Structure 1
């Protein structure tokens, strides 16, 4: 599995820059991986040589989504990491426990920071950090408008129809 600690990932990038740079970094919960996630990650991977996914830890998700029913995450972090690592587009995963990926961005200095098109530069806390060292923020168009929350809500309603 391609799950790294932050220190291990920094060392790998430093030792083998030709394998990793230009680096694309994205982040998220990726709880109940769906087609929208897969297409998004495939698009992000096309922006550079390697794609690293910053995966919110279980603790981090509980801080962000503490009002959800059922409580999130649904899938434990190590299982979410294993599923992500099976995708061809993902070169590395680092699990982080903060609410944002700001510390990851500061530590890795990706040439490209990718997020879904449902974000904008004004509401993305990582954007100013990326721009401060000359990196690019790329907002990727959402091809399949789906979300884990919407899927869970449909399941809870007993609605088997597509939204």
Structure 2
């Protein structure tokens, strides 16, 4: 596997051989600059099922969520980096601000987000419940963020 798919391709693959995919774990995010927090989070998510599908926000949806200066890395590159990780079995880029449409389309068995969320703060929670998936919140081991990494780089470059 380890490929980047469009949603229709992914749906077809899952429908054709569910035994190869289920239990299917799904998570999503911007994944703008991959860091160790992402790697550990994705490994923990993968451990919950047979396959891990990662939804990646498109460049347009990242801008809507994070502002016009983001993303730092284009969507195709972010998807390729994620697809290269051992824990990730498939990647799908989506243009909506939330992952509701993907959840409805692939009906994961388990939906995973970081422990900095709660079921009440996740816009995907109703879709997760509607498709019968369980919701797992994974504890954030290393509180790292892309914004903090970039700020540190900018602060260090100003002292040169």
Q: State TM-score, norm by structure 2.
A: 0.94
CA apart distance, 1:19: 1.0
List aligned pairs for 1:41-120, cutoff 5 A. 41-66=42-67, 71-120=69-118
2:149 is matched with which residue?
151
| Root-mean-square deviation (Å) | 1.1
Deviation at 1:124, TM superposition (A): 0.2
In 1, Cα distance between equivalents of 2:134 and 2:41: 17
Moved over 3 A (4+): none
Unaligned runs of 5+ in 2: none
Task: Answer yes or no: is the 8 Å Cα contact 2:30–2:62 preserved in 1.
Answer: yes
Q: CA deviation at 1:134?
A: 1.9
* Paired positions, count: 156
**3-state SS of paired residue (1:157):** helix
**Structure 1: which 5+ residue stretches go unaligned?**
none
The SS at the match of 1:143 is coil
Using the TM superposition, name which of 41-50 and 148-157 deviates more.
148-157
Distance 2:127 2:83 in 1: 27
Distance of 2:133 and 2:83 partners within structure 1: 25
Could you say what secondary structure the match of 2:119 adopts? coil
CA deviation digits over 1:119-142, x for unaligned, max 9? Answer: 000010111211123210000011
> The residue matched to 2:132 in structure 1 has which SS?
coil
Look up the SS of the partner of 1:158 in the other structure: helix
Q: Distance in 1 between matches of 2:61 and 2:153?
A: 24
